[in-house]
């Protein structure tokens, strides 16, 4: 039977079960009575059900309160991004003052466990489907293992110790369980990713673009092993990605973030495969939250001057692809905006209006926006182009992790080949004898705005490779140009170890568990 494509995510027979989840009304997603025509027990009847059931796991990735937006707010604790918008809890977290009652601390939890719950059901029932193609059965199991592992990996990074809910818990109806150790959660992630790698294909045909592959599983294993300081294991699995032409770096850095250039891009190992409504694909909210407010977005995450200054003078390709500055334009953006005196001051010689887009006025906290998730329709109405995919894992991340592991094991210069593959693709000169300072810099400018910087800083601080105090102790500032004048946006902050390595467990979850789940240390 021909497989269905990702475009059926919102039209699958699971959509009845999904509506409440996608609009944020499920508060206890691990313990819900099914509604609609199907129940979990009678749904998984044939191959068609398996395909649509697995697509139902992917559909959680589009959720605004999960991968679609809220997850990125945790990276605003770094030095690269400043929070804007009307969510005070985002701003409190940015200042390293999170508490267990805040909405953002809570909302990530139920959607992560909803993804886990759907994966658990798939893993229980797919083996029981009596007749189906063996390759599709194997692939579908691999997808469920990967998506469960991905959710647990994120949960553990954010909260540390979390409850493990597996197939046995579902079959026994035992959902109220205590937190497991970080090591236990990571062991499950490792097991699931190894299972996924053994079951997933290396590539897909056009009808199945957007599904996870072996390369995605190998890449996530690399990230996991670096988190665990298993450096040789990280090299082993990262090298599988690097040496496989199916996962080669894109020729052009900008192809990773350009609508129409992503579908056949070997570098994108895992992405939210969204699209415009006429393609029958869901829209990922990430484009709205990163797009500038003058250009129909909500602009929640603003790069800092600290980050803009990190780019080398010759690193124009990546800087241009990553940042929008006041006075910049972008293709197909035709919205008109009032140009005031402050904006006119910015529009110096060589930065004038273009036929491809409108100049960005100064409606921004810092003078910058992230360009990576921003694109506009070519029909001239200035609308956001939701066909722009949301990359979650790229091969360049893996190249740099392998370089880091080699440097830490064998010293400066050991990771030059992998690091320079990323640098030369960006049009920069190759380095010789690169050590951790060069590696840390390269990860920052290559992966900026992709929800990676804060987790990098945390793991480097834990390993005493950096002193995170020197980073959060430096104020976040705005552009040196008017009307920002380099002013402090976020003052110096204080990092408390080990408390700030993790968020608190949501108080609502603790209350619902009736004391089974305990709060994290120091909260």
| pLDDT at residue 293, rounded to an integer | 84
d(CA 200, CA 135): 9
Burial degree of 147 (CB within 10 A; 0-12, 13-18, 19+) = buried
Q: What topology does CATH give the domain 1-200+472-518?
A: 1.25.40
Other C-beta atoms lying within 10 Å of the C-beta of residue 345: 14
Q: How confident is the model over 359-373, as a mean pLDDT?
A: 85
Of the candidates 110, 79, 74, which has an alpha carbon nearest to the alpha carbon of residue 89?
74
Identify whether the C-beta of residue 219 lies closer than 8 Å to the C-beta of residue 395: yes
Q: What is the pLDDT of residues 401-437, one digit of tens each?
A: 999 999 999 999 999 999 999 999 999 999 999 999 9
Tell me the average pLDDT of the chain: 88
Residue tagged 């032409």 (tokens): 245
| pLDDT at residue 86, rounded to an integer | 82
Q: Does 347 have pLDDT greater than 60? A: no
Q: What is the pLDDT of residues 133-162, one digit of tens each?
A: 999 999 999 999 999 999 999 999 999 999
Q: How far is CA 220 from CA 232, 323, 443, in A?
A: 15, 27, 16
Question: What residue spans define the domains of the chain?
Answer: 1-200+472-518
Q: What is the pLDDT of residues 9-67, one digit of tens each?
A: 322 333 333 333 333 333 443 344 444 566 776 789 999 999 999 999 999 999 989 99
Query: Which position has the higher pLDDT, 505 or 278?
Result: 505
Range list of β-strands (E), 280-432: 301-303, 323-325, 368-370, 390-394
Element holding 163 (H helix, E strand): strand 162-163
| pLDDT at residue 1, rounded to an integer | 34
Of the candidates 395, 500, 394, 492, which has an alpha carbon nearest to the alpha carbon of residue 450?
394
Copy the structure tokens of residue 220. Answer: 């996530």
Q: Does 379 have pLDDT greater than 50? A: yes
Other C-beta atoms lying within 10 Å of the C-beta of residue 81: 28
Copy the structure tokens of residue 209. Answer: 């673009």
Of the candidates 232, 199, 165, 249, which has an alpha carbon nearest to the alpha carbon of residue 421?
249
| pLDDT at residue 348, rounded to an integer | 46
Q: What is the dihedral of CA 99, 370, 444, 397, to 10 degrees?
A: 100
> Which residues, at least 6 apart from 508, have a Cβ–Cβ distance to it below 8 Å?
27, 106
Identify whether the C-beta of residue 385 lies closer than 8 Å to the C-beta of residue 377: yes
Q: How confident is the model over 366-395, as a mean pLDDT?
A: 90
| pLDDT at residue 337, rounded to an integer | 67
Of the candidates 448, 360, 438, which has an alpha carbon nearest to the alpha carbon of residue 397?
448
Identify whether the C-beta of residue 269 lies closer than 8 Å to the C-beta of residue 238: no
d(CA 400, CA 287): 26
Of the candidates 41, 70, 34, which has an alpha carbon nearest to the alpha carbon of residue 286?
70
Q: How far is CA 293 from CA 35, 274, 300, 357, 359, in A?
A: 38, 21, 9, 15, 13
Planar angle of CA 33, 509, 97, nearest 5 degrees: 145
Q: Give the DSSP per-residue string, 82-136.
A: EE-SS-HHHHHHHTT---TT-HHHHHHHHHHHHHHHHHHHHHHHGGG-SS--HHH
| pLDDT at residue 382, rounded to an integer | 78
d(CA 58, CA 135): 19
3-state secondary structure of 496: coil
Q: How confident is the model over 374-400, as a mean pLDDT?
A: 91
């Amino acid at each position: 039977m021909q497989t269905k494509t990702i475009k059926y995510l919102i039209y699958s027979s699971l959509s009845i079960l999904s509506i409440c989840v996608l609009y944020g009304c499920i508060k206890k997603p691990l313990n819900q009575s099914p509604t609609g025509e199907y129940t979990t027990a009678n749904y998984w009847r044939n191959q068609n059900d398996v395909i649509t059931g697995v697509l139902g796991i992917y559909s959680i990735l589009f959720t605004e309160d999960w991968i679609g937006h809220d997850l990125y707010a945790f990276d605003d604790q770094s030095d690269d991004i400043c929070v804007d918008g009307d969510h005070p809890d985002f701003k409190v977290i940015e200042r390293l003052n999170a508490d267990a009652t805040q909405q953002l601390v809570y909302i990530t939890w139920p959607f992560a466990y909803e993804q886990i719950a759907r994966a658990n059901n798939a893993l229980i029932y797919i083996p029981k489907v009596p007749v189906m193609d063996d390759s599709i059965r194997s692939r579908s199991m691999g997808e469920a293992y990967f998506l469960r592992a991905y959710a647990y990996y994120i949960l553990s990074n954010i909260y540390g110790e979390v409850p493990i809910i597996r197939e046995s818990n579902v079959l026994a109806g035992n959902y109220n369980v205590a937190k497991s150790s970080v090591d236990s959660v990571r062991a499950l992630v490792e097991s699931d990713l190894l299972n996924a790698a053994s079951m997933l294909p290396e590539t897909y045909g056009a009808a199945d673009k957007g599904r996870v592959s072996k390369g995605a599983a190998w890449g996530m294993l690399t990230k996991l092993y670096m988190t665990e300081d298993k450096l040789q294991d990280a090299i082993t699995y990262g090298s599988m990605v690097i040496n496989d032409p199916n996962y080669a770096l894109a020729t052009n850095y900008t192809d990773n973030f350009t609508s129409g250039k992503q579908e056949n891009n070997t570098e994108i190992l895992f992405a939210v495969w969204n699209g415009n409504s006429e393609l029958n694909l869901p829209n990922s909210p990430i484009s709205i939250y990163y797009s500038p407010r003058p250009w129909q977005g909500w602009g929640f995450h603003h790069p800092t001057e600290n980050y803009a200054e990190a780019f080398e003078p010759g690193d124009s390709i990546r800087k241009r692809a990553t940042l929008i500055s006041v006075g910049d334009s972008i293709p197909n953006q035709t919205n008109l905006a009032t140009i005031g005196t402050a904006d006119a001051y910015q529009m110096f010689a060589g930065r004038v209006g273009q036929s491809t887009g409108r100049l960005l006025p100064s409606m921004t906290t810092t003078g910058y926006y992230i360009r990576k998730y921003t694109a506009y329709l070519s029909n001239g109405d200035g609308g956001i182009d939701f066909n722009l995919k949301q990359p979650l894992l790229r091969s360049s991340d893996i190249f740099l992790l392998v370089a880091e592991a080699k440097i830490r094991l064998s010293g400066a210069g050991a990771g030059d080949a992998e690091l320079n593959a990323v640098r030369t693709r960006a049009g920069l000169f190759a380095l010789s004898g690169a050590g951790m300072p060069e590696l840390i810099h390269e990860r920052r400018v290559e992966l900026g705005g992709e929800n990676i910087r804060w987790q990098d800083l945390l793991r480097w601080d834990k390993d005493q490779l950096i002193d995170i105090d020197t980073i959060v102790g430096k104020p976040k500032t705005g552009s040196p140009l008017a009307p920002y004048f380099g002013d402090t946006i976020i003052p110096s902050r204080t990092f408390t170890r080990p408390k700030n390595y993790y968020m608190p467990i949501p108080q609502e979850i603790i209350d619902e568990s009736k004391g089974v789940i305990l709060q994290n240390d120091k909260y």
